[in-house]
Amino acid sequence: MAGLEAVVGELRVGAHPSAAAEAAAAESRGEAARVLGISAGRSRLGGSGADGWLHPDSIVAEELSRIAVAWRVAEEHGLALAELLAAARTDLLGRIRFRDRTEAALAGARASATVLAGLPLVGIGLGQLMGAAPLTVLFGSPAGELLLPLGAALACCGLLWTDVITRRGTA
């Protein structure tokens, strides 16, 4: 985000897009510096600076593609690049905040699912301590041959279902 903010700042003071991206690359680190450097190079050589933002193998590929779309729209239609990038930055910040709030809200549900998945093991341990011999039943009786795999499968299904529900909440 800081790299994008630096590009917007450079553009607002009148810098050429390639110079703005190059200056922002010098101030940035990591993935942002690499993307900005590629964008500056492509723009300087007469290509589209938007192509420098497209990296499908990146962990932030979706966010980078949004910036590339804004850059391409500015190039194709002659719109103010600084304003479009500022709008894209605002949109990305809103999406990040929403995702963070959603992840925080779902943390309790994930913790509850983990605790509930471990309760059968606690029950078996307590039964063993009380002398009820649940391990003997589960591993040494015909009923245990059915109950142990059934219980394990249901616990796994519960964890997978919780994962599906929480992923839908963040998607």
How far does CA 151 lie from the centroid of its chain? 33
At 139 the pLDDT is 93
What would the two tokens of residue 119 be? 């309760």
Q: Which residues of the chain have pLDDT under 70?
A: 170-171
At 94 the pLDDT is 92
Q: What is the pTM of this model?
A: 0.68
At 33 the pLDDT is 85
At 171 the pLDDT is 65
Residue 19 CB neighbours (<10 A)? 15
